[in-house]
Amino acid sequence: LTAEAYPKVHRNPDYKVLNDEDLKFFHSILDDDEIIEANGDDLVTYNQDWMNKYRGQSNLVLLPKSTEKVSKIMKYCNEHKLAVVPQGGNTDLVGASVPVFDEIILSLRQMNKVREFDPVSGAFKCDAGVVMRDAHQFLSDNDHIFPLDLPSRNACQVGGVVSTNAGGLNLLRYGSLHGNVLGLEVVLPNGEIISNIDALRKDNTGYDLKQLFIGAEGTIGVITGVSILAAPKPKALNNTFIGLESFDIVQDLFVKAKKELSEILSAFEFMDNGSIKCTIEYLKDEPFLLKKQHPFYVLIETSGSNQQHDQEKLSAFIKSALEEKLISESHMAADIDEYNKIWTWRKSVPPACNSYGGMYKYDMSLKLKDLYSVSDAVTKRLNAAGLIGDAPKPIVASVGYGHVGDGNIHLNIAVREFTKQIEDLLEPFVYEYIQSKKGSISAEHGIGFHKHGHLHYSRSEIEIRFMKEIKKHYDPNAILNPYKYV
Ligand code: 2HG
Ligand code: ZN
């Protein structure tokens, strides 16, 4: 499986192979609990991604506890041309956070302290390695929320999320990290520390350099600290799970929700029936939320300050949508347990798809009218090849779900095994399809190893040339996260 994932690349011989002298240096600047050497073991949890799709062969993991130590590591690696892959919670979906060959893994997981919180402005500063769940917990204790939530919140780290510019489940309400991140502390490949972590909410003093590191996937610097704008904790949270009959109706319902739920609308997520079928199998002990299955489902969440007001507003919205025959069935949360349960059905879709052995995954932006068409086109193609069905067919299901509010679809092909035939049917077909609709081949999961070399489907020649120049400017020895991105 792994060998097949890396068919086209060869180790760049310009990179030095780690030797005893290098190890001696790392031991001289780090404590024993900041270094893990392979010693015959293959460091699998660091070398392999969670989809079991990408696996490197690094023999060394460094887990520094301070920015200064990250700086010393980078300076040394740059001078000696040792390649490095920065790693957060390793929940990445495009092979960006694991090595391809023997790159040193620089894990941020021991830089896990909250640095400062200002309850007046909402500015929250923390180390890059703080797990998102812990950031949420800390802020919740201070009557705030982290402005982003993801199904992988129990493992993903704040720095990793910023590095990939993840969008998550509430972008519709809280906006993207390009707006929410106030400042960053970054170690450059040569060891220099560049920081505007104390930046203010408004700050137009020159180019906004931090933006380049947001979504750069650790290719031009290692994010070690983040300042981000936390939002006040909503006092009222409501949600509802809806069954409906077509993707056109999903769009009509979205327009209606924006109009009628307006300021309290905080999420509008969709799933097709294939996603939910896999999730029903995955959550086998949980009764499904609706009486019957439908071609599409929508999860609507509202966040506001007055429970009764919000609940009435959402109920009225559902009632009128039923009357207008936009929706067929809905289940509204009666209490916080049901609210969480409804979210479980949405958040379990990715692990459900991954539970059969593996999955191919595409994350794309398209105009809303075209959003689901890519899923239809791919499913049709795989069906025509006779590859989807019960074992021994290799594909369990090809499903689409995602963030309607952001024009973002996730296409998951849940497989029993990875095969060349499936790959050849999927690529370049998916990318060419996206290109033909002027969409983006990466909405929020990034480029990583998976989409390296594919930028031209969504970016012009001049844009790619600028990106390459930026990479060269920041990382002239190309030691950071090689074989990926641009
Ligand atoms: C989501 O929206 C996340 O659930 C993960 O972006 C999606 O695993 C996925 O494809
Ligand atoms: Zn997503």
pLDDT tens-digit map of 181-225: 999 999 999 999 999 999 898 988 999 999 999 999 999 999 999
Q: Where in the chain is the domain with CATH 3.30.465.10?
A: 114-232
Give the CATH class of 114-232. Answer: alpha beta
CATH of domain 236-348: 3.30.70.2190
Report the nearest-CA residue for atom 6 of ligand 1. 168
Task: Please state, rounded to an integer, the average pLDDT across all residues of the chain.
Answer: 96
- Token representation of residue 408: 């973002």
| Residue 6 pLDDT class (50, 70, 90 cuts) | low
Does residue 151 or residue 73 have the better pLDDT?
73
Q: Which has the closest alpha carbon to 350: 339, 366, 362, 342?
A: 362
CA distance 391 to 275: 18
CA distance 456 to 157: 30
Atom index in ligand 1 nearest the CA of residue 169 equals: 2
**ipTM rounded to 2 decimals:** 0.95
Q: pLDDT at position 268, please?
A: 98
Q: Is the distance from the beta carbon of residue 244 to the nearest atom of ligand 1 less than 6 Å?
A: no
Atom index in ligand 1 nearest the CA of residue 445 equals: 6
Q: What is the mean pLDDT of residues 311-330?
A: 97
CA distance 243 to 299: 9
CA of 350 to the centre of ligand 2 (A): 9
Q: Which has the closest alpha carbon to 108: 150, 56, 70, 152?
A: 70
Q: Where in the chain is the domain with CATH 3.30.43.10?
A: 2-110
| Residue 3 pLDDT class (50, 70, 90 cuts) | very low
Contacts of 244 (CB under 8 A, 6+ apart): 250, 253, 294, 295, 296, 297, 298, 326, 327, 328
pLDDT at 7 over 80: no
| Residue 40 pLDDT class (50, 70, 90 cuts) | confident
Candidate of 53, 93, 276, 403 to mutate for ligand 1, largest count of ligand atoms within 8 Å of Cβ = 93
CA angle, residues 366, 89, 111, in degrees to nearest 5: 130
Q: pLDDT at position 199, please?
A: 86
| Residue 267 pLDDT class (50, 70, 90 cuts) | very high
Q: Is the distance from the beta carbon of residue 361 to the nearest atom of ligand 1 less than 6 Å?
A: yes
Report the nearest-CA residue for atom 8 of ligand 1. 350
Give the CATH class of 2-110. Answer: alpha beta
Q: Which of 196-200, 219-223, 255-259, 400-404 shows the lowest per-residue confidence on average (mean pLDDT)?
A: 196-200
The fold adopted by the segment(s) 357-445 is Alpha-Beta Plaits (3.30.70)
Is pTM beyond 0.90? Reply is: yes
Q: What is the mean pLDDT of residues 123-138?
A: 98
Q: pLDDT at position 291, please?
A: 97
Cis amide bond preceding 428, omega within 30: yes
Q: Model confidence over 338-396: pLDDT tens digits?
A: 999 999 999 999 999 999 998 999 999 999 999 999 999 999 999 999 999 999 999 99
